[in-house]
């Protein structure tokens, strides 16, 4: 009975938490460099959770919240559930942080100052995306139909026969579509194995120009990139994609641009 009650309280607590719209999540992810603010590693949109800099649980503790706002030098109307308090985060990093109150350190002050400074721009982006919701819904329906193969790319060309290049899209295995003009590099996955993770054989990869130069140069299928391995250079465990990367691998490549030790 105790276990059931404990589980029920967890469900009720989760129901009371802020639910983020797709527009809010995208805007926070985009404006904060598409990185987890806690571990500072690159973060995919589909893996992004929104973390509250000051815990959301403080809304249920008004006296404690008032004390913390004074402690951090924040106004009384500081919005716990606003863009000035939201940051992108990996699910596991978010879970590990929990509801701990952060210490007033110079590094955290810098983070908070940036949050306050960027909040208007992040809000503007979210509102812009929300205003395009009707268009996004239509696009979503079209993508769903393409995935179910009830229509094909040739059907889309009928809508714009004079602009066939608009239909030259490539569907990635993560569900996203990439226009051929946005491809910065394509190659078979550069991992050392004969078969990529979760595949039989090598995956042919497409890399968007929006990705970092390091990711594009690595040439790894995203699942292979994120796979945690024993690094052949520094013998520590980290993501395969970070082998030889400065500030992550203890034996970084001399040439970080070409991923090589050659001069």
Last residue of a domain, one of 131, 155, 187: 131
Average model confidence (pLDDT) for the chain? 82
Q: Lowest-pLDDT range, 61-70, 113-122, 145-154, 197-206?
A: 145-154
Both 158 and 208 in one domain: the answer is no
In a domain, 98, yes or no: yes
Both 48 and 100 in one domain: the answer is yes
Both 246 and 217 in one domain: the answer is yes
Which burial class, exposed, middle or buried, applies to 221 when counting CB atoms under 10 A from its CB (0-12, 13-18, 19+)?
A: buried
Work out how many domains the chain is built from and give that number: 3
In a domain, 1, yes or no: no
pLDDT digits (tens, 9 = 90+) for 80-97: 999 999 999 998 888 888
In a domain, 158, yes or no: yes
Spatial distance between the Cα atoms of 26 and 129, rounded to a whole number of angstroms: 9
Integer distance in angstroms from the first to the last C-alpha of the chain?
67
- Predicted TM-score of the model (pTM): 0.48
Domain that holds residue 52: 16-131
Confidence of residue 4 (pLDDT cuts 50, 70, 90): very low
In a domain, 241, yes or no: yes
pLDDT digits (tens, 9 = 90+) for 118-140: 899 889 888 877 766 566 667 77
């Amino acid at each position: 009975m105790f276990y059931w009650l404990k589980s029920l309280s967890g469900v009720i607590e989760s129901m009371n938490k802020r639910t983020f719209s797709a527009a809010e999540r995208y805007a926070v992810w985009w404006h904060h460099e598409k990185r987890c603010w806690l571990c500072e590693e690159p973060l995919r949109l589909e893996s992004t959770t929104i973390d509250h800099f000051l815990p959301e649980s403080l809304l249920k503790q008004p006296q404690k919240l008032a004390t913390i706002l004074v402690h951090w030098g924040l106004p009384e109307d500081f919005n716990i559930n606003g863009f000035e308090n939201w940051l992108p985060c990996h699910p596991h990093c978010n879970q590990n942080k929990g509801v701990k109150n952060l210490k007033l350190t110079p590094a955290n002050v810098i983070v908070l100052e940036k949050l306050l400074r960027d909040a208007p721009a992040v809000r503007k982006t979210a509102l812009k995306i929300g205003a395009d919701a009707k268009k996004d819904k239509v696009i979503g329906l079209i993508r769903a139909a393409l995935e179910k193969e009830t229509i094909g790319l040739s059907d889309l060309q009928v809508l714009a026969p004079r602009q066939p290049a608009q239909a030259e899209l490539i569907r990635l295995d993560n569900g996203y579509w990439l226009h051929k003009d946005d491809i910065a590099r394509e190659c078979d996955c550069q991992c050392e194995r004969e078969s990529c993770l979760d595949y039989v054989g090598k995956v042919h990869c497409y890399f968007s120009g929006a990705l970092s130069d390091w990711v594009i140069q690595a040439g790894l299928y995203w699942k292979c990139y994120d796979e945690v391995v024993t690094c052949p250079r520094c013998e520590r465990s980290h993501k395969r994609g970070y082998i030889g990367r400065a500030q992550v691998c203890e034996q970084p490549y001399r040439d970080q641009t070409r991923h090589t030790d050659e001069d």
